[in-house]
Amino acid sequence: MIKVYLKRPVCVERIDELGTGLLDKYEIYSLSGGMWHPHDEVGHSMLCSGYLEWGDWIATGADGSQWIIPNALYEQQYGELPVIPKAVADWIEKCKHDGTSVGYMLCYERQPEKVRDWIELTPGTYDFNQRRYAEHQDLLARAWLDGYTVEEDK
């Protein structure tokens, strides 16, 4: 399976009851009151803004900055990449290579037949499916922006 990530590098670690070693790593003294790091003039400072709860994530950026990502937001922002067929991935890469826009890539008349069929047709039929069309247009745009996983051959 091919995975292509387009987001900036970020390391995320989940604070859960099985990973309590992270509490020591980040010098977290309390989960009910947020995160404290004992290296400032007054003795305690917030390592991250906000409050940390079991299941939340600590993100560390390439520059060393850290922040808390609540689990619901993590699932929304960093969840699984969209899964698309190889023909669709090839279309995205061709458009990016040619320097075209996302609007051009989404243009029905310009898309290869396999891409159009994947976007709009009910599988196994030649029936146009309006719901599928809308969902797959959104999925295609998300794959363009965030990255994607190429589905395995069946």
pLDDT of 21 reads 67
Give dist(CA 96, CA 85) in Å, integer.
17
- Rounded CA separation 73/91 (Å): 30
pLDDT tens-digit profile of 8-37?
A: 666 777 777 655 566 667 666 555 544 444
99-135 confidence digits (pLDDT tens): 999 999 999 899 999 999 999 998 888 899 999 999 9
pTM of the predicted model as reported, rounded to 2 decimal places:
0.55
pLDDT value, residue 143: 92
Which candidate, 129, 137, 67, places its Cα nearest to that of 107?
137
Q: Note the pLDDT tens digit of each residue in 30-56.
A: 555 444 444 433 333 344 445 677 778
- Find the angle CA(146)-CA(119)-CA(102) to the nearest 5 degrees: 40
